[in-house]
Amino acid sequence: AAGGLLFGFLAQLGIDSLPFETEALPTIKTFPVDYAPKYYIIASVFALLTTYVAGLFPARKAARIDPVEIIRGK
């Protein structure tokens, strides 16, 4: 998760430096990117919750299975 946050931050820096020209917004010269820490916290919490939920159901199913029966092929 930390690597993804670092990659996202570096990508954000690159995107922020790209020229952005439009007739609708003549005063904006680059993509407006907000570097607020709250977005990194939200992304971290979302990633952790998603990982927890994705691993919870298979782990609960595996906890009910007897490994000896699986090895014996029953």
C-alpha Rg value of the chain to the nearest Å:
22
Residue 14 has pLDDT above 80, yes or no: yes
Looking at the whole model, is its pTM more than 0.75? no
Inter-residue contact 30 to 17 (CB < 8 Å)? yes
Residue 1 has pLDDT above 70, yes or no: no
* pLDDT score of 74: 66
What's 34's DSSP letter? -
The per-residue pLDDT for range 16-65, each reduced to its tens digit, is 777 877 777 778 777 777 778 898 889 889 989 999 999 999 999 988 98
Listed by start position, the domains of the chain span 1-33, 36-74
Torsion of CA 16, 21, 26, 31, to 10 degrees: -20
